[in-house]
Structure 1
Amino acid sequence: MNSEIKILVIEDELPISRFLNVLMGGHDYQVQTAENAKLGQQLAANWSPHLILLDLGLPDMDGIDLVKELRSWTNTPIIVISARNKESDKVAALDAGANDYLTKPFGSDELLARVRVALRMFARETLTTPTRFSFGNTTVDLGLKMVKRNNEQIKLTKTEYNILKYLCVNAGKVVTHKQILKEVWGNNYTEYAHYVRIHVAQLRRKVEENPAQPLHILTETGIGYRLVDVTEE
């Protein structure tokens, strides 16, 4: 039933935002609206929509950069709705991770059809990515890029955070040194396993009770690491 489906509209033009709210609400979708990227990211993380309708011309961040940011932690379908009609803009949005692109002005029926297609494809994948993870006394919020231990925020370097994020998304699985290197450093660093060992050691000092005998970020000797005892929210 549509009444169980949540759609987030990230649009700074009030008339269009109202129109999309009425259109989606009229078809029994639940709707929340955000007039800027910051609020959009917060709602995407905390409200967990099934679909995002996103304008590119936002006041605080370019929409393509927002698509990239959202794609770093969620596979929720994103349909870009924009006045930009150049092919290069469409390619950039799709390369960034958008599922579809609709140019303003658009017809209601066309938008609704594209919404239905995106939702069907997403439902078939059944690969919803959690946005919050907890292990021991540590909580990781991927949407807000925040890590807390004992309910107090802790500071991680960008590299430490990216390693932890990758371990969370793959919680319970063994991830190899090469996989971590490719994800965090890029394809040119896949032979530098010592980079991973150094940064994991630093990460353990911040999130493990006893870094010398870790209970959560476990070493798989000669292979890589596994994050265990993780609760997904």
Structure 2
Amino acid sequence: MRNCILIIESDHTVGRFIQLKLEAEGFTCLQDNNGDSAVDLAGQRQIDLIVLDPDEPLKDGGKILEKVRDVSPLPIIYLSSASDVDSKVAALDAGADDYITKPFATKELVARIRSALRRHEQPAIVVDPSYNIRDLYIYPDRHEVRVGNEIIDLTKKEFDLLLFLAKNKNRVLTRQQILEEVWGYGYVGNTNIVDVYVRYLRSKIDEKVGRKYVHTVRGIGYVVRD
């Protein structure tokens, strides 16, 4: 069965170009100029992935992301001409699974779509109901982080980063390893985004609790230790 991709692109010519390229790679495609059908199609499980280009005149991609995330966990690849870290962080925090800066090669888009579909289709294997870093407990099944009786509120990407670090407790992870696992294989962008999210975790956990959980290994990356 061929995967169905919803392309949300306000420029019909660009949308048609992307559609033809994806169909040539074996995908079935639907087009939407403003994102109105995204929530219904996602909720009814009629599509497998969304390619979202929120650039003008379609400005409010963040709202589309949030609405889709309310009804479905399906992968969303966000296209944008904005290459700054803040724009990437905003899109990923709103629910995007991947972020591609325009202009991009069609082969790259296809590779990222296939990678996102593979990650989405693989069943999560949870050996234990929770992971811990000393007194900090992470519950993947209910997307919850606790220190003692206190719940720590994290965004999806912050949670994914903390969970990956916890699964590899006492192992030093490079920024590239973190990028490939948390942001997706083939992510092209500044590894500085990892540092940005580590700072977010520290401000929400380390500074609040008064203990250091995420340690920097200079010149390499990060590690969490008991």
Give the TM-score normalised by the residue count of structure 1: 0.50
Q: Distance in 2 between matches of 1:31 and 1:56?
A: 18
Q: Distance in 2 between matches of 1:110 and 1:4?
A: 19
Q: Distance in 2 between matches of 1:12 and 1:66?
A: 13
Give how far 1:82 is off: 1.3
Amino acid at match of 2:116: A
Q: What is the CA deviation profile of residues 29-61 of structure 1, one whole-angstrom value per residue up to 9, with x for unaligned ones?
A: 110000002133333334621111001236566
Contact 2:50 2:77 in 1 (8 A): yes
Contact 2:38 2:68 in 1 (8 A): no
- Of the three residues 74, 92, 99, the one matched with 1:101 is 99
> Where does 1:134-145 land on structure 2 (aligned, <5 Å)?
none
Aligned to 1:11: 9
Aligned to 1:204: none
Aligned to 2:22: 24
Contact 1:11 1:36 in 2 (8 A): yes
Distance 1:36 1:100, change over 3 A: same
Q: Match of 2:37, SS? A: helix
Aligned to 2:60: 62
Larger radius of gyration: 1
Aligned to 1:119: 117
Q: Distance in 2 between matches of 1:78 and 1:109?
A: 17
Q: Match of 1:81, SS? A: strand
Q: Match of 1:84, SS? A: coil
Q: Percent identity?
A: 35
Aligned to 1:83: 81
Paired residue total: 127
Q: What is the CA deviation profile of residues 170-221 of structure 1, one whole-angstrom value per residue up to 9, with x for unaligned ones?
A: 9xxxxxxxxxxx9xxxxxxxxxxxxxxxxxxxxxxxxxxxxxxxxxxxxxxx
Give the TM-score normalised by the residue count of structure 2: 0.51
Aligned to 2:210: none
Amino acid at match of 1:122: H
Q: Distance in 1 between matches of 2:66 and 2:56?
A: 14
Unpaired segments ≥5 residues, structure 2: 125-141, 143-152, 154-226
Q: Distance in 2 between matches of 1:60 and 1:29?
A: 24
Q: What is the CA deviation profile of residues 108-135 of structure 1, one whole-angstrom value per residue up to 9, with x for unaligned ones?
A: 1111110111000001037xxxxxxxxx
CA RMSD of aligned residues (A): 2.3
